[in-house]
Amino acid sequence: MILCGNLVKIYKAADLEVVALQGLDLTVEDGELMAIIGNSGSGKSTLLNMLGGLDRPSAGTLIVDGRDLLKFDEKELIRYKRETVGFVWQNSARNLIPYLTALENVELPMLLNGRAKRERSLELLDMVGLSQKRNSKLSQLSGGEQQRVAIAIALANNPRLLLADEPTGSVDTRTADQILDVFREFNRAYGVTVVIVTHDRRLSRKVDRVVAIRDGRTSSEFIRRKSYAEEIAEMKQSIGGFETIDEESHEELAVVDRSGRLQIPKEYLEALGLKDKNKIKVELEENRIILMPPDAAGKK
């Protein structure tokens, strides 16, 4: 569904240049439910804006659903944003029009596309558990309810790709879990590819793969050891319904880019005393690559 190759984004203001992405590589499979995590300024929101057609890369390759976004003219870009991709923002003011009801908000994208269907709108509101609030306006909905309506809006035109920028950033933990369950339900029911950008690592319990971005590059991936369904089944079998799984749900894999570059986690460098150094000793031993401080000759 998504192929990013050596993606670069440079913002320019007067004589100042800021590099938001510097050679990012990323592949997302069709129908995948995954998350992108990173600290503020890591480039994750910049990436999401480019996937949503809201911004263009400075260089590199960006292919979504088999189409090269760098070759789109303005008309093709508008069609892409209306039909291929859906977007959920953290700020409800960007998702909902306050003087419309929940039902009218969901219908609006279909009206703009010339194919409004009341049945489709009601179905989507029912799937997010808000059919009883269909006539409620923004001021009558809680923050979690507003986000669930926003998900229904994003899916109104049957997009192939759903993007969410910090969708749980302004709600409590319980509401966040409900919102993430809605994403999983739509992913399973419609096969829509879901990419969620967040700084919240707890989200990894709900998705199959987590990609970490550091300094504008993909640095590591967290791959689920078991399916989410298997973990839920184990939790239900545990005493009193409490989770008894004693192993981590994901394993972390470092990402090596096409040039053979590797980003080593900061905590590893700190443990070796290499935080402020730019050289490291590398040795190949049988089927392992060993990294050591430069002055650690002969030590492992």
What's the CATH number for 29-52+71-262?
3.40.50.300
Instruction: Give me the pLDDT at residue 249, please.
Output: 57
3-state SS class at 295: coil
3-state SS class at 59: strand
Q: What is the pLDDT along the chain (300 residues), one digit of tens a residue?
A: 999 999 999 988 777 888 889 889 999 999 999 999 888 788 888 999 999 999 999 999 999 999 999 999 999 999 999 889 999 988 877 889 999 999 999 999 888 877 767 888 999 999 898 999 999 998 899 888 998 999 999 999 889 999 999 888 777 888 888 888 889 888 988 899 999 998 777 776 778 888 888 888 877 777 765 555 554 454 444 434 333 333 455 566 677 766 677 777 677 777 777 666 667 778 888 888 887 777 765 555
Whether residue 28 contacts residue 34, with contact meaning beta carbons closer than 8 Å, is answered with yes
CA distance linking residue 159 with residue 57, whole number of Å: 22
* Total residues belonging to the chain: 300
CATH 3.40.50.300 residue spans of the chain: 29-52+71-262
Alpha helices in 158-280, H assignment, sequence order:
173-190, 228-237, 266-271
pLDDT in tens, 91-133: 877 889 999 999 999 999 888 877 767 888 999 999 898 999 9
CA distance linking residue 51 with residue 162, whole number of Å: 10
Tokens of 152: 């229904």
CA distances from 173 to 36, 144, 179, 182 (A): 19, 10, 10, 14
CA atoms within 13 A on the CB side of 260: 1
